Structures are given as structure tokens and as C-alpha cells.
Amino acid sequence: MSLPKSVKIVEVGPRDGLQNEKQQISVADKVRLIDDLSNAGISYIEVGSFVSPKWVPQMANSAELFGLIRQKRGVTYAALAPNLKGFDAALLAGVKEVSVFTAASEAFSQKNINCSITESLQRFVPLLDSARQHGVAVRGYVSCALGCPYEGTVAPERVAWVTQELVAMGCYEVSLGDTIGTGTALETRRLIEVVGRMTPRQLLAGHFHDTYGQALTNIFASLEEGIAVFDSSVAGLGGCPYAKGASGNIATEDLLYLLDKLGIDTGIDLSAVIAAGERISAVLGRGNDSRVARALR
């Protein structure tokens, strides 16, 4: 069995993890979380998103965050930018990398961003053009890669097509998202096999929600298929407003424990991430959803 020697973790907790929280989280608490994560050795952190505060009020202070966090050399501080307007706002805030998102499900695309998959891709064209002009890197997300709350099964071939379109536009990496967490290891292998025929695996990442407790098995299957980049969320924070019942992304602590036991290097201090997760969980007034954090505590 051949596994990657090192893995990059994309920490999405400050954005994907907090965006659904109904209670308003202070800027100071968000800054503390982001600084805690970068001090733990995480080299890629999704800080926030430049979307309409009407739809995602928790992300309304993303521009302020970029001015307050202690940006460390060698760490990427990214943001979600769904369209050119969002990208322009991110650019003003000094963001050096953004993410765009679409879906492999037509129904989910309509529910999430009120347009078809093709229309969503067309919206990205001016954004990618502007990003190239300003030297801003762009990462892509494909939601519902292993199932949709409205359509059910999603064909891997459709995921492959959407992924290829994002890469052709200029996304340097595409994260395949099991948004509702229904995927299994065999389905994950099949997905990577099909997508990998059109897009090199070194351009792919995994984004697994743990709704059915399958995220770690799907990550292990992905590792065996040569995937070496995974999104995760400190303390297992998160969910999806358009996928009722979906739990958070795989907890960063749980992913780190697995990788450490496999002898795969991340350069991240697990104990420091656990401490960060404990602090933000206390702010939110609830328990830490990381099994590893609970066990080691």
C-alpha cells in the first residue's frame, strides 16, 4: 500500500464551520481562533467569505478579520468569493487567495446559489480573469460530489465534468465535497477514479462531512488513491444551510490523529489544535465534536 508522505490540511472552521452559527460570534473570538490555528502550524486557513450579509450574516465581518489577524509568513489566509463583486471586496481586504463554489447537482445549485451549474460556471469567468490580472490564486469547490439532498445519487461523470471546467478556467485545485456525508469508501474510490481520468489527482482535494460517520474511511480511501489535500474543521464545526441534517466537516483533530498514526507528515501540533477547538467550543457554549479531543481530554 502506497500512501502520500505528507498531506496538506485546509482548515475551513472559521468559514465553513462558523457560517451556520445563529449566535453572533465576536470579531475578537474569530481572530483568536484563526491565530490559534496558524500558531498550531496549519498552513492554510479559510478565514471568511465575501457574500451578502443578508444571506450569511455570520460572515459580514470577513474584511475586518483580514485586517486584525496576525498573518504569519508561509500561511495562506483565504476567503470564499462567489462572484466578481465578492472577489472585488476580497481584493480590497488584501486577500491573496479565494475559493469559488459550484455543485454537481442541478437542484442543489438552484437552492444554494439560485442558478444552474452552467450559469454558476459562467459567473466565474470574469472572476478568474480578474484574479489572473491581480495575481490571486483561485481554488474550486464542487458540492454534492457523493450525493445530493434533493436529487439523491450524483453521477461521478457529472462531477468529473464540473471539475474539469473549473480547472480549465484556472482553478489550481478542486475540492470534491461530500456535502451531506452519505458517501462510502467504495463510492469515494469510484469518484476519484472517474474524476481522475479527466483531471490529474494532484489537482484534487477531499472535503468530507461526517454526518454518517464515514469521513475518515473516505479519507483513507482517498489517501490510497493518491489524494494528499483534505479540508477539515476544528472541533468538527459546521454543516450546510441547504442540506438539512448535514453535520460538520471532519474534525481537524480526528484527521490529524489518523495521519499521525499512518506516519504521514502535516507539520501541525495536534495538542494546539485541540486547545483551539476547546476554546471555540466554549465560546459557542457546546461540546467539542472531535472524538479525539474528547478522548484525549
Q: Give the number of residues written for the chain.
A: 297
pLDDT in tens, 161-211: 999 999 999 999 999 999 999 999 999 999 999 999 999 999 999 999 999
User: Cβ(177)–Cβ(142) under 8 Å?
Assistant: yes
The number of helix segments (H) and strand segments (E) in the chain equals 11, 8
Angle in degrees, CA 135, 169, 191, rounded to 5: 120
pTM equals 0.95
Going through 54-129 in order, the beta strands assigned E by DSSP cover: 76-80, 97-103
Q: Which among 144, 148, 171, 240 is annotated as catalytic?
A: 240
Q: Identify the H or E element spanning 32.
A: helix 27-39
What does the alpha-carbon distance between residue 27 and residue 47 come to, in Å, rounded to a whole number?
A: 12
Q: Is the pLDDT of residue 86 over 90?
A: yes
Q: How is domain 8-296 classified at the CATH fold level? A: TIM Barrel (3.20.20)
**Active site (annotated) includes residue 171:** no
d(C-alpha 39, C-alpha 24), whole Å:
25
What average pLDDT does range 216-241 have in this prediction?
A: 92
Domain ranges of the chain: 8-296
3-class DSSP assignment, residue 98: strand
Q: What's the DSSP call for residue 151?
A: T
- At 110 the pLDDT is 85
Asked if the model's pLDDT at residue 295 lies above 90, the reply is yes
Each residue's pLDDT tens digit, 2-51: 899 999 999 999 999 999 888 899 999 999 999 999 999 999 999 999 99
Share of the chain above pLDDT 70, in %: 97
Tell me what pLDDT residue 246 has: 52
The Cα–Cα gap between 151 and 143 comes to 13
